[in-house]
Amino acid sequence: MARTAAVERDTKETQIRLKIDLDGTGASKISTGIGFFDHMLTLFAAHSLVDLELSVNGDLEVDGHHTVEDVGIALGAAFKTALGDKKGVRRYGFFLLPMDETLARTAIDFSGRPYLVYDATYPVERVGTFDLELVREFWQGFANAAACNLHIGVL
C-alpha cells in the first residue's frame, strides 16, 4: 500500500498544495516564495528520502509567518494521512547530526499526542530574508497536525 498523501490548505493568508511519498527517493519540487525556507525543505526531502512537492502562495508582503506555519501544518497533516494506521512503522525515531560547529538532535514519536520541545538559539536573527524564529513555528505546526511528540535541540 502506497504511503502517500496530498494536502490542499486554503486560508485567508495562504494557498498550499502539497504531495508527499514517504517511500520516495528524496526528490522535491518546492516553491514557497522564501528562498532559505525552500532550501531547508529541499534538504529535508533529500535527507529523509521523502518525495515532496510543494507550491505556496502566501501573504509575503506582510511577512513569512503565515507561510511557514501553514506549511508546517500541511506537511504534518500529510504525514499523518500517509502513515495511516501506522502498521509496519516504527513509532519512535531519533537522529544526531554533527555539522561544523553544531550538533543537532531530534527524536520523534508518532504517538497521536502532539507535543513539541524546541531548544535552539541562533547567533543571527535572519538568513537572507528568512526570520529564524519561524523555524519553531514550523515545527509546532508540524507536531500538532502530525499528532506527534517531537523533540529538537541544537547544541
The confidence score (pLDDT) of residue 4 equals 97
CB 13 within 8 A of CB 59: yes
Provide the mean pLDDT of the chain: 95
CB 67 within 8 A of CB 32: yes
pLDDT in tens, 124-150: 999 988 999 999 999 999 999 999 999
The confidence score (pLDDT) of residue 155 equals 85
Looking at the chain, the whole-number percentage of residues with pLDDT higher than 90 is 88
Q: What is the mean pLDDT of residues 19-37?
A: 97
The confidence score (pLDDT) of residue 142 equals 98
| Interatomic CA distance for residues 79 and 28, integer angstroms | 16
Q: What is the mean pLDDT of residues 17-44?
A: 97
> Which set of grid coordinates corresponds to residue 142?
508540524
Q: Mind listing the domains of the chain with CATH numbers?
A: 4-154 (3.30.230.40)
What amino acid is encoded at 66 in this protein? H
CA angle 80, 115, 53 (to 5 degrees): 35
Q: What is the mean pLDDT of residues 41-47?
A: 96
pLDDT in tens, 83-110: 999 988 888 999 999 988 889 999 999 9
Q: Is the pLDDT at 43 greater than 90, yes or no? A: yes
The confidence score (pLDDT) of residue 99 equals 84
Q: How confident is the model at residue 6 (pLDDT cuts 50, 70, 90)?
A: very high
The confidence score (pLDDT) of residue 23 equals 95
CB 44 within 8 A of CB 76: no
Q: How confident is the model at residue 153 (pLDDT cuts 50, 70, 90)?
A: very high
Residue 43, SS3 per DSSP? helix
